[in-house]
Structure 1
Amino acid sequence: MIPKKIQITFYTIFIFVFFFACQNKKKPVEKIASNKIEIEKTIRSADFFYKNKQLDSAFYLYNKARANSNLKDDVKNYVYCMYYMAEIQQKHEDFVGSTKTAIETIPFLNQIKDSNYIWNIYSVLGRNYFYTYDYPTAIYYYSKAFTLKIDRINKLEAKNNIAVIYIKQHKFKKALPIFLSISKEKILKDSPENYSKILDYIGYCYYKLEDPRALSFFRKSLKIKSQANYLEGLGKTYYNLSQFYQKNKAGLAMKYAKLSYKNYTLSGNIDERLLALKFIIENSPDVESKKNMLIYISAIDSIFEVRQQAKNQFAKIKYDTKKEKEENLKLKAQKIKNELQLAKQENSNIISYIVIIFASALIVFIYFFLTSRANRQKIEATYQSETRISKKLHDELANDIYHTMAFVENRNISTQENKKHLLKRLEDIYSRTRNISKENTPTISNQNYIVLIKEMISGFNTPTTNLMINGLDTISWDSIDRTKKIAVYRSIQELLVNMKKHSCASLVALTFKELDNSIIINYTDNGRGIDINKMVLKNGLHNIENRINAIKGEINIHSDFGKGFKVLIKFPA
């Protein structure tokens, strides 16, 4: 039973809050209108920076306007800002962050009458899933965009994007008629840039279908782009021509590949420039190939660093804005308490003063105590995370890069076997870099969990290592706690990294099953194994044990030298 004094204290505070709430309802409408005007002014400034490609400043201002938007009265501005924030994140290839930003708007889309806002969100989601190779989900959002009541040009864009996905899926016969129908649209022919793109896609489909009509479409596209001095588009067409002539006219193919590289460099398209450079490396003599390889490695390192910095910066902007808003609310709450105390002074007695002062002191003490403890925990967690990432970069990438450089210096790169071996090493380094990046991406949700874990596992599937997955889709992941799913994801990733580094396995099997309200995961490989009596849990295996123990699970390891490696993981569903 609550003591009377505490009851009186709660009743007094309740009366104060109720009184203030009643007074607060009398706020002038002019103040709300003023806030909306300020938000729209911020959005206009953000639009200016976005149009002038000052994306950092634009993201900051869109986020500021979004944070101050009232979701009851100003949903349209909120969705508008979130869309452009997602666009900016996408331009920096932070596809996971962009998807998370865009999905936050989904619950509010039914409150918006303007279909163009909804189309923007569906389109940015479609592109994110396309860039992360989730083609079925990308088609789903592009199809939703196509069904909206929107301008003809937007419908054609959604239709075009679906056809592009069919190309990625090697469904050229399915993509070709879509592109041909789009090419007949008058509104498209009036735009040389877009029309030339469609001609390129048609030519590419014909090329893949071994139809000689491909060349005429490439030449027509090249003519339009040359007249318009469309550098990025010229890079694409020249690259298509280099592929077209690769088998029969190697010299001409190399000429077009170099033109592609030049135009992509001038236009600033880094990813496509690397694609052209890769083609040049694969078809160049050893001296030139070695020189281009160093350029390729340097460019990849620079791209990764710049994009990682952008991701961190945008995440920090969102976090700082949220923190600032929370601090402002706390300051407002404190101000309200002070105003209530002043209003009550005339009719209050000494006991009221003591109760108010005691309650205020207690709240301030608890606030500072919790804030101080949370800050210490954040600092410690950040230090541990940075240490782990630094070690992982050194252990998994530095040595591989050194050995790759030594291979280039000591081997004849002009031979096909050495060239393939070098490219395989570079692809392996790139794959590991992506895995380290993904490991530190916290976005694991019900909608994309199975896709994420399959994509991660497939990254370890090589010509010499075959991975088999059984039962993953039978688990009810939607009902499993997010912390457990993260632990499973990272434990499997650690097992596969250890396999790749130590076991030399050619066959790996992962089996998932749900039994008696428990999830059971069996990992087996046919690698060289270890002596279980001499085994010491270090690094990766130690990390796995800690993660499984944290979710109240258990882990059993069975191995013998030369007889493979087995791990059983079991935890409550």
Structure 2
Amino acid sequence: MIPQRIIKPLSIFFTFLFFLSCQKKVSNSIVSINTKAEVAKLIAIADRFAKNKKTDSAFFYYNKAKFICNPITDTENYVSTINDMAAIQQKHADFIGSESTIIEALPYLKNIKKPELIWNTYVTLSMNYLNTYEYKNAILYNQKALTLKTESWRNLAARNNIAIILMDEGKYAESLKNFLELLTKQEVTNDEVFYANVLDNIGFCYFKINDLKNAISYLSQGLEIRQKKERHLDSGKSLIHFAEFYKKSNPALAKKYMLLSYKQFCIINNVDERLSSLKLIIENSSNQELKKHSLIYVSLVDSIFEVRQKAKNQFAKIKYDSKKDRDENLKLKTHKAENELQLERQKNRNIISYIIIVFSLSLILVLYFYLTSRGNKEKIEATYNSETRIAKKLHDELANDIYHTMAFAENKNLSIAENREQLLTNLDAIYSRTRDISKENATIITDENYGLFLTEMIAGFKTPSTNFIINGLDTIIWNTIEKNVKISIYRVLQELLVNMKKHSNASLVEINFKNLDKYGIINYTDNGNGININDITFKNGLHNVENRILSIKGEIDLESFPNKGFKVFIKFPL
């Protein structure tokens, strides 16, 4: 006779399978509903808002269309809608959010018959990578775009993008080669706007490789066409290049071009380009002029941060609210279908079978919804904590610096060289903090440049009051170590250094690396305030450090006492 302890789990298991099969039928009946007409209607509304530059409303309706669109049966509308949403986020400088949106389309590109939709996806994604300094990925997705059979102008645009990315990387000779090849294409020379852009970029590349004769020739040709076409943005960019060209040889003329470029950008109210012009003007100004432009710069940085942060929050809320509404509607439909199915079965089952099924279904439903709820809650909390951490870091470390810099500029006499130098130092510190926050959340390089990347990260924490000693980094052959191990080591050291900088007041930090056969050893020591090891909590950064090391099958030992420094021993597999 089969034991009762086995019969009960078996009955629950088979009931679970039965429930899942029914659930699958219900879900299939829901998915099979044709929503193409409603999707087309929502997209048309979103397009009208986008045309009228009401991007928040456009994003709302695109997102609404995406959530009711079936990505299997209506793939083109699904991908097209995602492309439009990502483009709106990119326009508002929400490059991380745009990347998060656009990658939702990648699994469905294989079902697309219109290559231009795939091209749009690849190019949008490449622009996000370019603006987050992931040049390798930016070039990769433009190369993917080049493999598609699309119109010739799209092919040329992708080649132009690659040349621009190389130029941003500082690979001017390679970039120049690509631009000169574009200049041989009739489609480029026939399009005056495209032609002027290529001429200007060629001139700038020649300038960077010190071929001044060719540089001024191409820059002049590009500027002449742009001014004739009255394209203020493009003209401003040309004038910036002229300012760079004359900055050393003729500062007065360079200053003239800087002011002219700023004027062009003001006409179209392009904040990013205004900031780039202002930065050059500030570097080449003094006295009251320096104070005037510095105040404008600080005010612009403050306002653009606020506007873009509000836009990012708004886009994130729209996506979250839509997902929440969809989940609730789906649950209601599922419950309704389940109830109807239960009533139908009730007619054909006796009381004992009914009790068993209801009992089993109740347990499974509780477990299913509990696990689903917990999973969703963890995802939401993880997203919220990440965004809160970044927002707090921006508020605590960046907003206060901007405020103090503004106060300094208003209250100090900037005609005094010492005050002027201090203002520039403060502005540079603001820029450095912004870059550090971006790097802290950027992708970690794990290729052959990992050692250099790790060294740069550590060096970034060095200050006039904190000295670093790094020994033995080259003794470990990083190329042979798994990617996840390198990422964990990078994040662990970053966490330790962040804690040191925030809490320890250390004046000396020593990090020693050793290679012991199949293991790598890292000894971290600082002479800071130290901590009480017993105070480490679940949310403490040091707890995260322990978890990271244990996740790669490593070992970690912490040694510290209040006011007696801090030591960490790390052992990880090679």
Query: Per the shorter chain, which TM-score range?
Result: 0.7 to 0.9
Question: Which residue number in structure 1 is paired with residue 326 of structure 2?
Answer: 325
> 1:196 Cα deviation (Å)?
1.7
Greater relative contact order (Cα 8 A, min sep 6): structure 1 or 2? Answer: 2
Aligned pairs (5 A) from 1:235-254: 235-254=236-255
- 1:516-563 superposed Cα distances (whole Å, 9 cap, x missing partner): 6x77544467xxx3366x9899999994323224455634357999x9
Does structure 1 residue 42 correspond to structure 2 residue 39?
A: no
2:541 aligned with 1:544, yes or no? yes
Contact 2:445 2:453 in 1 (8 A): no
Further displaced range: 399-408 or 261-270: 399-408
Q: Report 1:51-90 matches (<5 A).
A: 51-90=51-90
Q: Could you list the per-position Cα deviations for residues 327-363 of structure 1 after superposition, in whole angstroms to 9, with x for gaps in the alignment?
A: 3332222112211122234334444554455456556
Correspondence 1:343-358 to 2 at 5 A:
343-355=344-356, 358=359
Q: Unpaired segments of 5 or more residues in structure 2? A: none
**Which position in structure 2 is the counterpart of 1:554?**
556
For 1:135, give the aligned amino acid.
Y
Confirm whether residue 431 of structure 1 aligns to residue 432 of structure 2: yes
Q: 1:172 to 1:511 in 2, by over 3 A?
A: same
Q: Which moved further from structure 2: 42-51 or 412-421?
A: 412-421
Q: Which segment drifts farther, 146-155 or 167-176? A: 167-176
1:298 maps to which residue?
Answer: 299
* Equivalent position of 2:232 in the other structure: 231
Distance 1:181 1:494, change over 3 A: same
The aligned counterpart of 2:134 is 134
State the distance in 2 between where 1:418 and 1:276 align: 22
Alignment of 1:202-241 (within 5 A): 202-208=202-208, 209-241=210-242
Against the structure 1 CA distance between its residues 176 and 70, is the aligned structure 2 distance closer, same or farther, given a 3 Å change threshold? Answer: same
Shift in Å, 1:67? 2.8
CA distance in 1 between partners of 2:432 and 2:265 (Å): 24
Give the structure-2-normalised TM-score: 0.79
Distance 1:196 1:83 in 2: 28
- In 1, the alpha carbon distance for the partners of 2:14 and 2:308 equals 54
SS of 2:149's equivalent in the other structure is: coil
The counterpart of 1:530, out of the listed 518, 528, 531, is: 528
Deviation at 1:225, TM superposition (A): 2.2
- In the alignment, which residue of structure 2 is the partner of 1:158? 158
Higher mean C-alpha displacement, 413-422 vs 374-383 = 374-383
Q: Which shifted more, 368-377 or 209-218?
A: 368-377
Report matched runs for 1:471-510 at 5 Å. Answer: 473-474=478-479, 476-479=481-484, 488=492, 491-492=495-496, 494-495=498-499, 497-498=501-502, 502-503=505-506
For the Cα contact (< 8 Å) 1:20–1:340, is it kept in 2?
A: no
Letter in 1 for 2:337: I
Shift of 1:12: 5.8
Q: TM-score, normalised by structure 1?
A: 0.80
Q: What code does the residue aligned with 2:556 have?
A: E
Which moves more between the two structures, 387-396 or 490-499?
Answer: 387-396
Q: Give distance in 1, aligned partners of 2:451 and 2:69.
A: 34
Alpha-carbon separation, structure 2, partners of 1:78 and 1:512? 52
Q: CA deviation at 1:88?
A: 2.2
| 1:382–1:35 Cα change, 3 Å | closer
Q: Secondary structure of the equivalent of 1:34?
A: coil
Alignment of 1:342 with 2:339, yes or no, is no
2:558 counterpart SS class: strand
| Cα deviations by residue, 1:145-181 (Å, 9 ceiling, x for unpaired) | 2233222111111111222223223332332232233
SS of residue paired to 2:34? helix
How far apart, in 2, do the equivalents of 1:540 and 1:454 lie? Answer: 28
Deviations 1:399-453 (A, max 9, x none): 64465456545665456665454323222223324544666x5988999996997
Does residue 281 (structure 1) correspond to residue 271 (structure 2)? The answer is: no
Distance 2:20 2:406 in 1: 69
Paired residues in the alignment total 560
